[in-house]
Chain A
Amino acid sequence: MSLLINQVKLGRNLLSLTQPLFLQPNRELRGKAPDVARSLKQRLDEISRAKRDPNLHFKVNIGLPHLKPSRGEEYSCRQKILRSRKGLQSLPNEQISLEEIRKEWLKTSAPFHIRAVAEHYNIFEDLFGEAFFLPRIPLSIKYEQPDGSNLPVYFGNQIKPKEAAVAPSVVFEGDPSSLWSLVLTNPDGHLSEKDAECVHWFIGNIPGNDIKKGEEIVSYLQPFPPRGTGSQRLVFVLYKQEKIIDFSSYRKSAPCLELANRTFHMKRFYREMQDSITPAGLSFFQSDWDDSLTEFFHKTLNMKEPIYDFDFPEPYKKPPVWFPKKAAFNLYLDKHRDPKQISKELLLKRMKTVDPFEPKKPEPKYPNALPEDNKLPSWVRVEIRKQRLKWGRYSDM
């Protein structure tokens, strides 16, 4: 009887698959027609636009004012150059110098491009909140390496902490009569406060061009991204000062190795000083953990090295049941065991096979071709085969 019912059900299901959707039983046509309905992208765009009211969510430009040269003059100069090249065909092996292109780029489009990259890295939002600035003054920051080469800091390139151990050379164009401040801050990975930054270097009242003649308010400290946290941003901001400022409230005795003292909030700092400083230059790099940091934490910072791991969401497991149906008992029980306990047992198993005084045993080319013990239960034999093939949790053994 039940067989017949199942056959009828199967028949009905198969039939309904051949019918168009609106004729299928127990089905409702939901939503608008395909030519009218909005796509996923359109719906997401609408939601994001609704969240941002332009009267409330707008950014303020806190950068230097820019005196634009006469567009007519600029245009006529450029047209002269272009007309002299008109009609000439490109030479096949001509290599146009990227350095020259970059020099011209720094004079023309750089501030806008750098702003786009900085917004992609969320720098303005994390440092200033609702403000941004166009970095009109190009900064040339280079970390000198022991072999004589230079690692420049651009807009997000990776520099390891070992390579940034010593303060870099900073070069920018400044009037001899002008005053500048340079701040190096890390908005990620403050170890004891959630939304705070860590100041790695602060030099104030720099006359003209010369960093060395400026007052060192906070001495240089190399980046120390903890292990497992990924890449942290380290941002150089160059401020133009109107007059000599008293930074005594920010001064820290050199070398300030207490991390709590290096807590910094760029937003609050700028808010306090906004009448006398304007951000003018921007440069940033990303830094990752490196094995020289273990010694740095132990010897220089005098602390235990913190190690982190990404907090993945817990995998979904069906709630455990007294009598699971159609589930291999060993696999079912293993799923609900503590993974740390499992890896501890595997580690102990591994340590039994490893001898530090003997060379590593060569691994067999066809591990499952080796003889198996027939007397063992089948599920144990399957586990042994998985171990030999190094599947899943046995991959480290």
Chain B
Amino acid sequence: MWESRIRNIGLFSSAKRAYSSNIGEVNNSFLPFIYNRNPRNLERLRIAPKPMGYALDDKPMNYWHRLVVVQSNQHVGAYIEHFSGKTVISASTNEWAIKQFLRSTSDVQAAATIGRVLAQRCLECGLLEVHSNYDMDLVSPKVSFLLKNIEKGGISLSEPEQFLPHRHWSREAKENPTQVYEEIQTK
């Protein structure tokens, strides 16, 4: 696992902008390296490694976060799980907050509601892309409603690829995710 260590590539000051003459007097010292302790930072930047060693498994663990749908006789639920096994976000019809508004906790309406609630919770927690092993063509109508509502809610059911730093002599030339910003792209 790479440490989230970020190196200062140089002090940059724009010569065109006018700034005060006593620049750098007070806020002068910064470390050559910054350690961003946010554990989700590398995943957001697509730099974090995905788990290795499970490529030959039936459902390989090639994701950062995965969506799991749980169906039982009485209830329907779904949760987002990190590859380390931690359940990050969950929504289930056995929660009182959801159960009291449903006429049935196991029908299609319940599944659809779970999809909408999970999508809302994912947006609130900053998880916008999640890996899903479910094939829309092979899944039951209930689960397909759940998945469609998650997508409608704004969550993408496929994660981006990991960015591997390429050598300067190689043919690859993908953009470095630490140097891509939304505003610059839309200009």
A residues sitting closer than 8 Å to B (CB atoms) are: 40-41, 78, 81-82, 85, 88-91, 94, 96-98, 100-102, 104-105, 107-109, 113, 116-117, 119-122, 126, 154-158, 187-189, 191-194, 226, 228-233, 257-260, 285-286, 288-291, 294-295, 298-299, 301-313, 315, 331, 334-335, 339, 342-343, 390-393, 395
Contacts and interface: CB of A to CB of B under 8 A. Distances in A.
Contact of A120 (B86, B176, B183): B86
Contacts of A259: 27
Given A90-B104, A116-B87, A309-B178, A258 B26 contact: yes
A42 B40 CA distance: 25
Contacts of A335: 167, 169
A96 B101 contact: yes
A304 B23 contact: yes
Contacts of B26: 257-258, 302-303
A302 B25 contact: yes
A289 B181 contact: yes
The CB with the most chain A CB atoms within 10 A, among B7, B34, B44, B173, is that of B34
Which DSSP category, helix, strand, loop or mixed, fits chain B's interface? Answer: loop
Contacts of A391: 171, 173
Given A96-B113, A291-B181, 6 more contacts: A89-B107, A156-B126, A231-B36, A310-B176, A393-B169, A393-B173
Contacts of A312: 2, 165
B157 interface: no
Nearest to A99: B120
Interface in B29-49: 29-31, 33-42, 44-45, 47
B87 A308 contact: no
Given A156-B40, A291-B181, A303-B27, A90 B171 contact: no
Contacts of A303: 23-24, 26-28
Contact of B120 (A40, A89, A102, A289): A102
Contacts of B25: 302
Contact of A294 (B14, B45, B97, B173): B14
Given A154-B124, A156-B125, A301-B27, A392 B169 contact: yes
B135 interface: no
A289 to B, nearest CB: 6
B7 A309 contact: yes
Given A192-B31, A290-B181, A302-B23, A342 B96 contact: no
Contact of B6 (A41, A309, A343): A309
A229 B179 CA distance: 9
Contacts of B124: 154-157
A232 B44 CA distance: 11
Given A90-B109, A192-B30, A307-B9, A122 B37 contact: yes
